[in-house]
């Protein structure tokens, strides 16, 4: 332990940061754990944000563990509303908006930032993104205005489709725009995507494929048709609120400034330990010991940046062991993702990047079973829509691990 007694300092109080604290506390009742976070420091489940209307939950109800309760529960300290601006590796110091903080071991759990599209027009600055409960509070406040009836969503990916379904449950008109020709373009093969499209359309979602948003202008109307959105084909749509759901970019700012290896995300080794920019992840003996780790949406492990709950939990459990003095590689089993679109129950487990193979889709009236097989016939991924989602666990059990256990 260093003189400051700060032990493990975690930057970020999202699922990744809090899960590391929880898992480490299970293994070590005494080590000082301190979370430094730019937000309010309370814990909420981010996946609940895209189905809160159907679940009948407001923002206050979504907050599961307020900061004070979390501090008490885990015997940790949370510095909230504090932004880390720099890491001084040699001095084991963080520079923050509230002064310097010493660490012995540092965990970067800084998440990801919404990608902002370049959109013309004076209404572009009012386009919302939801990647945080505070963003969601703004979104819900605007939805509560009686003048907001029609919402445009940019992006028909997982988050865009979930919000589309949820907004329909809440009685809003919904138009979804995507330059791709189908929903969940990166996750679903053609027939499964067509099935999802049909069911979301039956629920009242209007899709506009092959077009993006070119401009968003304010109309000046006090109520109704607050914005006019011109799509890239030149069609004008009168809408009251625009939500962007075009994806997230890992937040690598701090790591990059500190000279840690960064690709799309921060690049730690299998023990989630970051390396100096000039040291390969597997560099051998003699490399300088960097006591900085990366976890969650900001991290890219063995080329995999997986911004989902299951990989984060696997990382947190492995990292807690490493921090407690039992160096442990992260291992990923096959990790299916449930898409929260009640109008079309869907589970996806995409093939790992670079794996060669083909999709085979079986379509019936009540579902689609899509299996991705390698040329040798082995199952490498799947997508299930409708009634076939019941096969999730059986199919996941047939898939090889994404990152296998490694034994010394």
Shortest distance (Å) from residue 95 CB to ligand FAD: 10
Shortest distance (Å) from residue 179 CB to ligand FAD: 20
**Nearer to ligand FAD (CB atom), residue 178 or residue 231:** 178
**Does residue 28 bind ligand FAD (CB under 6 A)?**
no
**Does residue 67 bind ligand FAD (CB under 6 A)?**
no
Size of the site for ligand FAD (CB under 6 A): 35
Rounded CA separation 186/353 (Å) = 11
**Does residue 49 bind ligand FAD (CB under 6 A)?**
yes
**Does residue 345 bind ligand FAD (CB under 6 A)?**
no
Residues 124-183 that bind ligand FAD (CB under 6 A): 130-131, 159
Shortest distance (Å) from residue 377 CB to ligand FAD: 29
Of 6, 20, 33, 37, the residue at the interface with ligand FAD (CB under 6 A) is 37
Shortest distance (Å) from residue 105 CB to ligand FAD: 17
Rounded CA separation 400/390 (Å) = 20
CA-closest candidate to residue 229, choices 248, 197, 206, 249: 206
Stretch of residues binding ligand FAD (CB under 6 A), selected from 104-112, 176-184, 209-217, 383-391:
104-112
Shortest distance (Å) from residue 82 CB to ligand FAD: 6
Of 8, 9, 11, 176, the residue at the interface with ligand FAD (CB under 6 A) is 11
**Does residue 12 bind ligand FAD (CB under 6 A)?**
yes
Burial of 288 (0-12, 13-18, 19+ CB in 10 A): exposed
Of 47, 210, 281, 357, the residue at the interface with ligand FAD (CB under 6 A) is 47
Of 111, 268, 345, 381, the residue at the interface with ligand FAD (CB under 6 A) is 111
**Does residue 23 bind ligand FAD (CB under 6 A)?**
no
Rounded CA separation 213/232 (Å) = 6
Shortest distance (Å) from residue 77 CB to ligand FAD: 14
**Does residue 83 bind ligand FAD (CB under 6 A)?**
yes
Stretch of residues binding ligand FAD (CB under 6 A), selected from 33-41, 140-148, 282-290, 386-394:
33-41
Residues 301-340 that bind ligand FAD (CB under 6 A): 307-310, 312, 337, 340
Of 74, 84, 262, 272, the residue at the interface with ligand FAD (CB under 6 A) is 84
Shortest distance (Å) from residue 75 CB to ligand FAD: 20
Q: For the chain, what is the HEC assignment?
A: CCCCCCCEEEECCCHHHHHHHHHHHHHCCCCCEEEECCCCCCEECHHHHHHHHHHCCCHHHHEEECHHHHHHHHCCEEECCCCEEEEECCCCEEEECCEEEECCEEEECCCEEECCCCCECCCHHHCECCCCHHHHHHHHHHHCCCCCCEEEEECCCHHHHHHHHHHHHCCCEEEEEECCCCCCCCCCCHHHHHHHHHHHHHCCEEEEECCCEEEEEECCCCCCCCEEEEECCCCEEEECEEEECCCEEECCHHHHHCCECECCCECECCCCEECECCCCCCCCCCCCCCCEEECHHHECECCECCCCHHHHHHHHHHHHHHHCCCCCCCCECCCCEEECCCCCCEEEECCCCCCCCEEEEEEECCEEEEEEECCCCCEEEEEEEEHHHHHHHHHHHHCCCCECCCCC
CA-closest candidate to residue 294, choices 258, 269, 325: 269
267 with 281: CB under 8 angstroms?
A: yes
**Nearer to ligand FAD (CB atom), residue 216 or residue 312:** 312
Residue 150 pairs in a beta bridge with 173
Shortest distance (Å) from residue 92 CB to ligand FAD: 17
**Does residue 50 bind ligand FAD (CB under 6 A)?**
yes
**Nearer to ligand FAD (CB atom), residue 184 or residue 226:** 184
Shortest distance (Å) from residue 109 CB to ligand FAD: 5
Of 38, 164, 242, 383, the residue at the interface with ligand FAD (CB under 6 A) is 38
Place of tokens 């071991």: 105
Shortest distance (Å) from residue 299 CB to ligand FAD: 8
**Does residue 258 bind ligand FAD (CB under 6 A)?**
no
Q: What residues make contact with ligand FAD under the rule CB under 6 A?
A: 11-17, 36-39, 46-47, 49-50, 83-84, 109-112, 130-131, 159, 251, 254, 296-297, 307-310, 312, 337, 340
């Amino acid at each position: 332990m260093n003189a400051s007694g700060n032990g493990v300092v975690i930057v970020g109080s999202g699922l990744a940061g809090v899960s590391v604290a929880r898992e480490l506390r299970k293994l070590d009742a005494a080590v000082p754990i301190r979370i430094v976070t730019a937000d309010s420091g309370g814990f909420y489940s981010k996946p609940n944000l895209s189905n809160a209307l159907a679940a009948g939950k407001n923002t206050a109800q979504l907050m599961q563990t307020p900061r004070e309760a979390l501090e008490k529960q885990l015997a940790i300290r949370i510095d909230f509303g504090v932004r880390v601006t720099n890491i001084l590796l040699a001095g084991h110091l963080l520079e923050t908006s509230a002064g310097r903080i010493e660490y012995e071991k540092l965990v970067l759990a800084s998440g990801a930032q919404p990608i902002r599209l370049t959109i013309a027009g004076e209404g572009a600055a009012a386009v919302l993104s939801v990647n945080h409960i505070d963003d969601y509070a703004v979104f819900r406040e605007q939805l509560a205005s009686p003048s907001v009836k029609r919402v445009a969503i940019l992006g028909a990916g997982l988050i865009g489709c979930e919000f589309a379904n949820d907004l329909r449950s809440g009685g809003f008109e919904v138009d979804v725009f995507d330059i791709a020709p189908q929903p969940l373009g990166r996750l679903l093969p053609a027939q499964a995507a067509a099935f999802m499209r049909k069911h979301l359309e039956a629920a009242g979602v209007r899709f506009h494929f092959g077009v993006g948003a070119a401009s968003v202008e304010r109309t000046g109307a006090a109520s109704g048709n607050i914005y006019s959105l011109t799509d890239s084909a030149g069609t004008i749509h009168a809408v009251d609120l625009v939500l962007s759901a075009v994806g997230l970019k890992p937040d690598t700012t701090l790591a990059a400034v500190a000279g840690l290896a960064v690709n799309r995300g921060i690049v730690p080794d299998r023990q989630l330990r970051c390396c100096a920019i000039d040291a390969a992840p597997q560099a051998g003996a003699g490399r300088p010991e960097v006591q900085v780790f990366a976890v969650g949406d900001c991290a890219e492990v063995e080329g995999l940046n997986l911004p989902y709950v299951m990989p984060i939990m696997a990382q947190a459990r492995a990292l807690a062991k490493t921090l407690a003095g039992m160096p442990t590689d992260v291992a990923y089993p096959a990790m299916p993702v449930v898409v929260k679109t009640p109008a079309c129950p869907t589970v996806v487990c995409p093939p790992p990047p670079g794996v060669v193979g083909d999709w085979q889709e079986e379509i019936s009236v009540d579902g689609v079973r899509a299996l991705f097989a390698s040329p040798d016939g082995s199952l490498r991924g799947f997508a299930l829509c409708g009634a076939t989602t019941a096969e999730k666990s059986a199919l996941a059990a047939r898939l090889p691990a994404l990152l296998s256990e490694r034994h010394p």
